[in-house]
Amino acid sequence: MALGKIDFYEINDNKIYKLPYFKKNKSKTYVEINNIRRRVFNKKIFIICGEEIYIKKLNLPKVKGEILEKLIKDELEFYYRGREDIIFTYLILVENPKNLDLVVFYIDSRRLKNIDLKNIYNVRGIYLIQFIYIKYINKIVNFSNYLIAFVYEQNFYVIYCEHGVLKANFFQKEFKQTELELKKHILNFCSLNNIEKNSLEKIITSGFNFKISEDIKNEFKIMEVDFIEKANLYKAIK
């Protein structure tokens, strides 16, 4: 991907910020949606932060494209009693002769009120920050059963992956960055999602402003990843 030809925007706390991916010591800047629409010829990528991803497995007839997306949308609207404010993506797990086993990842888009991405030209993609981290981590490790715990823009996330696929996740604002809090949240996350801590190959951490002690590293099989520059994260998007 030629990063210089694409505008990156971050959606966080019901606001949109333009990201200065090539300019050092530059901070993100708030932008109005109308100003983004005026940049007709620029390709655009939107990164959604601060949202927990909901996960649901479905078995649907073997169809493709827009028909499959409509079936998924109908299932989610039925599950949520007619709501139409759901943003989703999906992954086909098993393709049978007559049906599909798939997993759907979705968020409640009501939290994105006042942000209307319709009628914007050249939208290259809309990504959740959790999936960007999964893509990045999958490029540098080869584990099949792991957690990722990271801080991005002062928000705290935990992700559980099997074979590179998101299985469970957690999000929290205003995370108190201490080793004790990190340990507590990892244990709570494993308990709530029936994950055996000892069965994990690794717990991968990134973005914390404290050094994790060797005792905790050994107890939790932690692999620390240095602070990840946003430009490097963006390169994981294809």
Q: What is the pTM of this model?
A: 0.86
What's the rounded Cα separation, in Å, for the pair 45 and 231? 13
Nearest to 129 by CA among 150, 98, 146: 150
- ∠ CA 7-9-11 to the nearest 5 degrees? 165
The pLDDT value given to residue 24 = 60
The pLDDT value given to residue 38 = 83
Nearest to 138 by CA among 107, 168, 159, 169: 159
What's the rounded Cα separation, in Å, for the pair 207 and 182? 12
Averaged pLDDT in 10-residue chunks for the chain of 238 residues: 73 86 71 84 89 92 92 87 75 92 86 70 88 92 94 93 93 90 95 93 94 91 89 79
The residue ranges of DSSP E strands in 13-66, in sequence order, are 15-18, 29-31, 43-48, 54-61
Sequential DSSP letters for 144-186: SEEEEEEEETTEEEEEEEETTEEEEEEEESS----HHHHHHHH
Q: What's the chain's length in residues?
A: 238
What's the rounded Cα separation, in Å, for the pair 178 and 119? 43
At 83, give phi and psi (nearest 5°): -65, 140
